[in-house]
Amino acid sequence: MRGEAGSGTSARRGMTIGALAVALLLGVTGTGLAVPPPPPNPSDSEINSSKAEANAKAGDVGRLTNQLAQAESKLAQLNDDVELKMEEANKARVDAETAQDEAAQADREAQSARTESDAAQATIDKARTDLDKFAAASFQQGSTVGSVSAYLTANSPKELLGRAQMLDAVGGSRLNALDTMKRAQTDKSNKDATARKKLEIAQERKRAAEAAKHEADNAQSAAQHAQDNQATQNQKLEADKAGVEKQLFEAQQKVSGLQGQRQRYEDWKAQKAREDEERARQAALAASRPSPSQGGGGRPTGRPVQSAPAGASVEAVVRRALSQLGVVYAWGGGNTAGPTRGIRDGGTADRYGDYNKIGFDCSGLMIYAFAGVKSLPHYSGYQYNAGRKVPLSQMRRGDMLFWGGSARGIHHVAMYLGNGQMVEAPQSGLRVRIAPVRYGGIMPYATRLIG
């Protein structure tokens, strides 16, 4: 019985010494091994619920994106229609001006022909009056020669005969002259009739051209009205999509926040397990030594995390482009530092007031996104040749996509995000956005600057 008691006493003494050793150990090394209070640990149902909410918002974004893509396609068709109607209106305007000039010329020719005809008629009337006077005088003298004195002053029969022949010739020449003037008057009258007919035709063409111009102007106005209505619908869809995208972002942030809390909690558990393990190891070492002061050990240190150079990775470029979502489109805007004021183009961009906006155009957004990789020119056609060409079937996140053709040239660029999505600065009146890749008119190769 004594041995058992002695043994129990020794055991209790050993436990007391061990507990004292652990206490001393914790007192010595507690600062290095202390674990902070546990962070919040969201439940699986909270995480799943937030994921479901984010997925629903993502579905709404996809639906609105499809609607917006269809609306943009319709707007593009209306834009083409407006351009066509504008050219038709220009043609009608030119035709009307030409018809106006032709009518004015025909009117001048008709006036000239009438003047010539009137002058010819006056000459004929005067000649006819002179001839009538000559004939009357001849009749009064009882002769056709016009004057008896012409015969009475003759010195011989021969001279008398000569004077008779001369007077007869004079009468005949006047008749011939009258015939000639009549023919001239007939010719002038014909010219007058021709000029009048040309004037009628020219005036008819002028009326037709003016009617065509009026019709073309009305068609242009109707096309512009349809385009404006569609643009208004697009703006509403853009606003709806932007609102849902904001909700999606918030939902994703919530998911990320909850997942981050869960990850921090898991990290805390792992740290606590390591600390508990270290404490137990230190306690075991201390219990096996005669004095706690001889115990050793310390807290392990972690390795520093290496990060890629800023802007040199695909993800850095993508993040840089996505950071500008919602920034307004401004033709000619954007550089390596960010959005800049747009410039005038003399057309659509001016109509939207891009020169008064701070934003990006399509190539300006690429300049900003790839600022840490390569200096790009502010023209999508040159950007197409700025890197390695890869077939569209091999395109990957961070590649640049282009639209255009050999006849018109490159006219748009965007960045591929993966999963059929891209980020772009689309066109005047819109904002930097994420959209499904449009394959109509896309170039057969993507341009890769990284990798």
Interstrand relation of 421-424 and 409-418 (parallel, antiparallel or unpaired): antiparallel
Amino acid at 140: Q
CB of 321 within 8 A of CB of 433?
A: no
Amino acid at 49: S
362 catalytic? Reply is yes
CB atoms within 10 A of CB 182: 15
Residue 9 tokens, joined: 């006493």
CB of 90 within 8 A of CB of 235?
A: no
Q: How many CA atoms, within 13 angstroms, populate the side-chain half-sphere of residue 177?
A: 15
**Cross-strand bridge partners of residue 328:** 431
Q: Pick the catalytic residue from 83, 200, 362, 378.
A: 362
Q: Pick the catalytic residue from 102, 116, 238, 424.
A: 424
Q: Pick the catalytic residue from 72, 88, 245, 412.
A: 412
159 catalytic? Reply is no
Give ∠ CA 383-387-388 in degrees, rounded to 5. Answer: 135
Measured between alpha carbons, how far is 125 from 108 in angstroms, rounded to an integer? Answer: 26
What distances in angstroms separate CA 147 from CA 86, 135, 140, 153, 164, one per listed residue?
81, 10, 9, 11, 10
4 catalytic? Reply is no
Burial class (CB in 10 A: 0-12, 13-18, 19+), 83: middle
Measured between alpha carbons, how far is 148 from 140 in angstroms, rounded to an integer? Answer: 10
Closest C-alpha to 427, from 244, 248, 238, 229: 238
Cβ-based neighbours of 309, under 8 Å, separated by 6 or more = 372
Distance between terminal CA atoms of the chain? Answer: 82
Which sequence positions are flagged as catalytic? 362, 412, 424
